[in-house]
C-alpha cells in the first residue's frame, strides 16, 4: 500500500490532521470553566474510537510491508497519542514514543511529521517546554504543519506565555483556518474572561462542523452558557452534542453539572457515574466522589477517589507529569504536605494561572496564607471566569481577615459556575458564614 493510497482512507486523513491538545488525560483543573477547553481537549477530525483502532491496524500492516516509511511511523505515533486520549490508556504513550524514534531514525533532518508527533506526545505527557521545542523544530521544516501549529499554541499557554500564545493562535488562524484555530482563539478569550467572544467563536466552529467536531464545539459553547447561568441553553447544546456524537463523555459531564445547578444531585450522580464508566479520568472520578460526599456517602466517595489515585499513578508510570493535578487533589482530599510538594514541583516547571492557583491553595491548606495570597491573586490575573480560582482566593483572604474582598470573591465564585461541585460549593458557603459578622 502506498502513502497516496493510505491518504485516501478516512482514518488516515483524520489522523493526519489530528491536533492533540495540551492535557490529554488530565485537564488543568477539574472544576473551572477551562477544564475541558480547546487547549486541554484534543481537537481531532471526526475520528471515533472504533475507526481509530481499525485505522491503526491498517497503518501497522502497511508499515510491516514498508518499514522505511518515516511519515507512516510519525502518523502511527500521532494515532497512538489520540487513542490514549479516547481510551484514557497512558500505556499507549510508550508505543507512540517508539514510533517517533523509528521515524526519526529513518529521517532526522527533514521530518516535520516526526517532530510534530513528538511534540504531541510531549504535550500529552505534560512536558510542555519540550513540546514547544519539538513544535518549533517541526515548523522550521514545514511552517504550515497543522499539528505543530496547534501544539505551539497549546504549549505556550501551558507554560504561561499568554501573550505569545494569543499571537500563536492568531497566526494559526491565518495560516490554517479551521476548527482547531477557532477553538484555540476561543480558549484564549475564555482564559481572559471574555465569555461572549469565546461563545461566538465556538458557535462559528459548530456552524461549519459535523460529527465529533460538532460535538466538541457544542460542548464548549454549552460550558460557557452554563457558566453564566443560562442552563436551558446549555442543556440544549449538550443534547445536540449527544446527537452529533452519542455517549460523548464531555456532553454527559456537562449535563451532570446542569443537574447540579438545578439542585438535582441524584440525577447528577447518575450522569456522573455514566461518565466515569465511559471515560474513567481523574477529573470525572473526583467530581463523582465529591457529589457522593455532598450526599454523605463517604465510603462510596472514597472508592472513587481510590480509583482516581490509581489512574494518576498509572499515568505517572507512563511518563505523564501529574504534579499540578496531584496538588489540587491532595490539597482537598489527601495529604497537605504532599500537596505542597507537588504544587512547588509544578510551579518550577511552568508559571500559569493554574499552577499559581494550585500552589496558593496548597500553601493555604498548610497554614501559609500570606504566601498563598500572592499566588491566588496571580491565578486570577487574567480575569478567568473560574469558580475554583475565585473560591480559593476568597477563602485565603477570609483567613487573613480581608473581609470585604473575601466576601466579593466568594460570592463571585458561587456565580461563576452554577454547576460547581456541590461539595466545593458547601465549602464556599461555610467560608461566607464564617465571615458574615466581621466588617
Please give the tally of structural domains in the chain: 2
189 and 332 together in one domain: no
Q: Which residues neighbour 205 within 8 Å (Cβ) at sequence distance 6 or greater?
A: 179, 182, 183, 186, 213, 216, 217
Q: Which of 166, 193, 220 is the last residue of a domain?
A: 193
Q: Which of 178, 193, 208 is the last residue of a domain?
A: 193
Q: What is the pLDDT of residues 364-409, one digit of tens each?
A: 999 999 999 999 999 999 999 999 999 999 999 999 999 999 999 9
State the pLDDT at residue 124: 94
Structural domain includes residue 267:
no
Give dist(CA 227, CA 240) in Å, integer. Answer: 18
Q: What is the pLDDT of residues 2-26, one digit of tens each?
A: 333 333 333 343 444 333 333 333 3
Q: Cβ-count burial of 421 within 10 angstroms (0-12 exposed, 13-18 middle, 19+ buried)?
A: buried
Q: What is the pLDDT of residues 21-41, one digit of tens each?
A: 333 333 333 343 333 333 333
Across 247-260, average pLDDT:
97
Structural domain includes residue 246:
no
Structural domain includes residue 14:
yes
331 and 189 together in one domain: no
Across 152-163, average pLDDT:
96
State the pLDDT at residue 8: 30
Q: Which of 152, 174, 193 is the last residue of a domain?
A: 193
Structural domain includes residue 248:
no
Structural domain includes residue 373:
yes
Structural domain includes residue 210:
no
Q: 152: closest CA among 179, 174, 184?
A: 184
Contact criterion met (CB below 8 Å) for 28 and 40: yes
State the pLDDT at residue 87: 85
Give the chain's mean pLDDT.
88
State the pLDDT at residue 438: 57
Give dist(CA 369, CA 394) in Å, integer. Answer: 11
Q: What is the CATH number for 385?
A: 1.25.40.10
pLDDT at 436 over 50: yes
Domain membership of residue 376 as a residue range: 327-439
pLDDT band at 51 (very low <50, low <70, confident <90, very high): confident
State the pLDDT at residue 184: 93
Q: What is the pLDDT of residues 328-344, one digit of tens each?
A: 999 999 999 999 999 99
- For 282, the grid coordinates are 481523574
Structural domain includes residue 305:
no
Q: Name the residue with higher pLDDT: 36 or 97.
A: 97
The share of the chain scoring above pLDDT 90, in percent, equals: 79
Across 266-294, average pLDDT:
96
pLDDT band at 49 (very low <50, low <70, confident <90, very high): confident
State the pLDDT at residue 47: 63
Structural domain includes residue 232:
no
E strands present in 242-392: none
Q: How is 27-80 classified by DSSP, letter by letter?
A: -S-TTSTTTT-TTTS-B-SS--HHHHHHHHHHHHHHHHH-TT-HHHHHHHHHHH
Across 75-83, average pLDDT:
94
pLDDT at 174 over 90: yes
To the question of pTM greater than 0.75 for the whole model, the response is yes
Amino acid at each position: 500500500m502506498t502513502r497516496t493510497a493510505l491518504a485516501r482512507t478516512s482514518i488516515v486523513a483524520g489522523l493526519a490532521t489530528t491536533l492533540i491538545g495540551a492535557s490529554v488525560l488530565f485537564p488543568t483543573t477539574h472544576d473551572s470553566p477551562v477544564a475541558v477547553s480547546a487547549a486541554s481537549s484534543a481537537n481531532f477530525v471526526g475520528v471515533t474510537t472504533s475507526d481509530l483502532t481499525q485505522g491503526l491496524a491498517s497503518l501497522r500492516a502497511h508499515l510491516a510491508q514498508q518499514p522505511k516509511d518515516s511519515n507512516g511511523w510519525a502518523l502511527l505515533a500521532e494515532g497512538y497519542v489520540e487513542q490514549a486520549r479516547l481510551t484514557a490508556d497512558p500505556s499507549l504513550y510508550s508505543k507512540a514514543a517508539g514510533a517517533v524514534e523509528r521515524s526519526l531514525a529513518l529521517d532526522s533532518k527533514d521530518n516535520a511529521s516526526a517532530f510534530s508527533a513528538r511534540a504531541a506526545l510531549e504535550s500529552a505527557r505534560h512536558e510542555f517546554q519540550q513540546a514547544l521545542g519539538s513544535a518549533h523544530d517541526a515548523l522550521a521544516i514545514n511552517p504550515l504543519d497543522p499539528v505543530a501549529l496547534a501544539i505551539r499554541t497549546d504549549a505556550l499557554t501551558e507554560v504561561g506565555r499568554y501573550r505569545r500564545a494569543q499571537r500563536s493562535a492568531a497566526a494559526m488562524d491565518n495560516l490554517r483556518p479551521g476548527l482547531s484555530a477557532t477553538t484555540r482563539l476561543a480558549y484564549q478569550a475564555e482564559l481572559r474572561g471574555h465569555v461572549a467572544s469565546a461563545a461566538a467563536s465556538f458557535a462559528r466552529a459548530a456552524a461549519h462542523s459535523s460529527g465529533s467536531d460538532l460535538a466538541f464545539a457544542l460542548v464548549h459553547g454549552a460550558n460557557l452558557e452554563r457558566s453564566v447561568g443560562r442552563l436551558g441553553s446549555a442543556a440544549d447544546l449538550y443534547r445536540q452534542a449527544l446527537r452529533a456524537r452519542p455517549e460523548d463523555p464531555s456532553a454527559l459531564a456537562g449535563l451532570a453539572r446542569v443537574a447540579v445547578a438545578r439542585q438535582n444531585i441524584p440525577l447528577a450522580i447518575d450522569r456522573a457515574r455514566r461518565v466515569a464508566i465511559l471515560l474513567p479520568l481523574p477529573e470525572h472520578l473526583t467530581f463523582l466522589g465529591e457529589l457522593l460526599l455532598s450526599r454523605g456517602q463517604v465510603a462510596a466517595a472514597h472508592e472513587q477517589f481510590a480509583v482516581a489515585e490509581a489512574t494518576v499513578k498509572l499515568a505517572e508510570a507512563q511518563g505523564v507529569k501529574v504534579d499540578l493535578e496531584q496538588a489540587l487533589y491532595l490539597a482537598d482530599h489527601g495529604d497537605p504536605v504532599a500537596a505542597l510538594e507537588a504544587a512547588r514541583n509544578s510551579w518550577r516547571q511552568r508559571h500559569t494561572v493554574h499552577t499559581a492557583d494550585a500552589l496558593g491553595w496548597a500553601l493555604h491548606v498548610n497554614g501559609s496564607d500570606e504566601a498563598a495570597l500572592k499566588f491566588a491573586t496571580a491565578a486570577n490575573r487574567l480575569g478567568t471566569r473560574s469558580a475554583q480560582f475565585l473560591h480559593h482566593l476568597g477563602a485565603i483572604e477570609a483567613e487573613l481577615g480581608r473581609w470585604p474582598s473575601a466576601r466579593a470573591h466568594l460570592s463571585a465564585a458561587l456565580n461563576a459556575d452554577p454547576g460547581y461541585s456541590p461539595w466545593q460549593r458547601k465549602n464556599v458557603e461555610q467560608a461566607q458564614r464564617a465571615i458574615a459578622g466581621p466588617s
